[in-house]
Amino acid sequence: MIVGKLLSTLFNCYMVVIMKNFRFLAGIALAVSLACAPASAQKGAPLSAQKVLWLGDSITQAGDFVTLVEYYLNKQYTSSHFDFVSIGLASETISCGSEKDHPFPRPCLSERLGRALNAVHPQTVVACYGMNDGIYHPQSPERMAAFQKGIQNLITAVRASNARLILLTPPPFDRVAINTTRDEHAADFSYMAPYEKYDDVLTDYAAWEKTQAAVDVTVVDLHTPINAYLTKARATDPKFSFTKDGIHPDLAGHLLMARTLLKDLKVNVPQAPLNDEVARIQSDPLYVLVKAHREKRSQGWLDYVGYTRDKTVKKDTVDSVEKSVYEMQMQVDLMRNAK
């Protein structure tokens, strides 16, 4: 009787020790898996397993190049997670300037940057400014200094938030596309009547931005390769352009922007002729879904962070949007993993 109770007690103690050790080892395994999985995903898939905040003007608000980057990453890295919050804002500058003929003072990134960083908590910020920053005038030391100050303030703010920054130089201004440009002797300039050599201003901006590369700042030059593409295309078609207003690229132009960024990120994407690839992409249900997801989330977060553009917009919550796009993301995950 006594021996039986003793054996029972010993067995219970043994099982307690086993279970405690099991839970301990299981906890270690879980911790290791959680720590290692994002790292391995990040190593294989650029911009994965992290929040990525996209900032910019109307080109980024249109957002087709953001959608295309997200589409190609989802297509190629089917087991990775991509978490993009893209809140480009039409008319915005980083230099806080505005031309006289603009219908309202242009919004400036500095007004909402702090709120965006605090709300999104990104690990990476992608920013594309410059197109509006020269306010379509000839170059001036004052406007150049204002652009440089704006970029440097962005670098400082992103660095203070412990995120890394990817700076995109502005795409070109294309004078071939419009007939309302003015020469340097004109009394004034605006987005509706820009300086005829305004792309020289953007070339200056791009050249200076490339000097800002650092350990935590990557500069991807969109301006130079897009201009090179235009030059080559015009050898056979002098009127070729990606834009109807000199400013906003069409989908083929956005595709070239996306390809340029993805090349810098070491992502291989199809190099078919742009228009052929645009047609293929638009017929892909995955692209259609990624686009709808990106656009819905962008609008929700843009309003939640808040901005002033003629009038002030600020929503109290983004919860309903996040619930909706979560459901859309589940559809994306099913679609990209379908055999």
| Burial class of residue 145 in the structure, from the number of CB atoms within 10 Å of its CB (0-12 exposed, 13-18 middle, 19+ buried) | exposed
The rounded mean pLDDT for the chain is 89
pLDDT for 34 beyond 60: no
State pLDDT tens for residues 8-30.
Answer: 443 344 333 333 333 333 333 33
Domain map (residue ranges) of the chain:
50-336
Instruction: Give the pLDDT band (50/70/90) at residue 43.
Output: low
- Centre a 10 Å sphere on the Cβ of residue 42 and count the other Cβ atoms it contains: 15
Cα-based distances in Å from 19 to 6, 16, 22, 29, 33 = 20, 5, 5, 15, 21
Q: DSSP letter at 215? A: T
Domain 50-336: assigned CATH number = 3.40.50.1110
Cβ distance 209 to 167 under 8 Å? yes
Task: Tell me what the mean pLDDT of segment 147-164 comes to.
Answer: 98
Give 93's pLDDT tier (boundaries 50, 70, 90): very high
The CA distance from 231 to 277, in Å, is 21
Predicted local distance difference test score (pLDDT) of residue 304: 98
Tell me the pLDDT band of 109, cut-offs 50, 70 and 90: very high
In this predicted structure, the answer to whether residue 153 has a pLDDT above a threshold of 70 is yes
- Counts of helices then strands in the chain (DSSP H, E): 11, 7
Residue 339: band (very low, low, confident or very high) from pLDDT cuts 50, 70, 90: low
CA distance 270 to 129: 27
Residue 7 burial class via C-beta count within 10 angstroms: exposed 0-12, middle 13-18, buried 19 and up? exposed
| pLDDT, tens digit, 9 for 90 and up, residues 198-217 | 999 999 999 999 999 999 99
Give pLDDT, residue 139.
Answer: 98
Question: How do residues 58-89 score in pLDDT, each as one tens digit?
Answer: 999 999 999 999 999 999 999 999 999 999 99
Token readout for 105 is: 């003072």
